[in-house]
Amino acid sequence: MNQPLVLDGLKVADDVKAKLQVRVHNLKEKEITPCLATVLVGDDPSSATYVKMKGNACEKLGIQSKRIHLPSETTTEELIQCIQELNSDSLVDGILLQHPVPAHIDERAAFEAISIEKDVDGVTSFGYGQLAFGFGKYPCCTPAAIMAILDYYDLPMEGKHAVVVGRSPILGKPVSVMLLNRDATVTTCHSKTQNLADLVSQADIVVAAVGKPNFIQGAWIKAGAVILDAGYNPGNIGDVDYEACYTKASAITPVPGGVGPVTISMLLKHTVDSAELRAKK
């Protein structure tokens, strides 16, 4: 069997950002600067790093990054008030609430407070409903990244059997819906699924979104399958046993350098999409 195609997320992200640069320039000629507001509650170092990365990515493209850092003792009500103020700010195009928030906060209530017009991270139930019906503007960024990789490399989805391992509301479920909307036949697996290896072995497309290092085994993979690893575990390890699955796949994403870089570029794209809608008002 020929060596598989390594799906280079850095290359896909660079392509997305190059196209965005032109769109940001055109917006600025109309005196509109796209703006993403990030809200961080507490002092979790990983969350702070992610927010900083997203802010830096914005600034490299000329997108304004409005960073709000709230103390860990912030209440649900105070967080929602902050989000509502951002909803009302006509110069803010997107709002990202960094997950996770401190345990005493009702995270779902805070997510739901984000205006659908500014839900560029795809975290509201309203946005998920629109996505399911096929007209959502801003899907969750990691599922959007997976679809962008498939499209960039012109990998067919129509009529293919896709097996998604994981059912989280911001990854497994939305990517299952997006694949279904592109005419794939989708099986969504989870911790209670029986005969998981048998199901994965039937897949033309495997999406690993389970949050367990090296969980998907090479012996499970059908020859020629396309594998998209959305996992990121300590030590730069994905959810797929890369070396074992590499020998079976026709195409595979590495970790790091696969889905991750494209996820951030999708957040930037959704923010620019929102700014363009503001420009039309």
> Which of 8, 93, 98, 269 is an active site residue?
98
Which entry of 17, 54, 118, 160 is annotated as an active-site residue? Answer: 54
Candidate list 121, 204, 229, 239, residue with the active-site label? 121
Report whether the peptide linkage leading into residue 143 is cis, meaning its omega lies within 30 degrees of zero: no
Instruction: Let me know if 121 is a catalytic residue.
Output: yes
User: Is 222:203 a contact under the CB 8 Å cutoff?
Assistant: yes
* Burial label, 105 (beta-carbon count in 10 A; 0-12, 13-18, 19+): buried
- Classify residue 22 by burial, with Cβ atoms within 10 Å: 0-12, 13-18, 19+: exposed
Cα 214 to Cα 241: distance, rounded to the nearest angstrom: 4
Told to judge if 194 belongs to the known catalytic residues of this protein, a careful annotator would answer no
Q: Any catalytic annotation for residue 44?
A: no
Q: What whole-number distance in Å separates Cα of residue 38 and Cα of residue 86?
A: 10
- With CA atoms as reference, report the closest residue to 161 among 189, 194, 186: 186
Residues noted as catalytic = 54, 98, 121
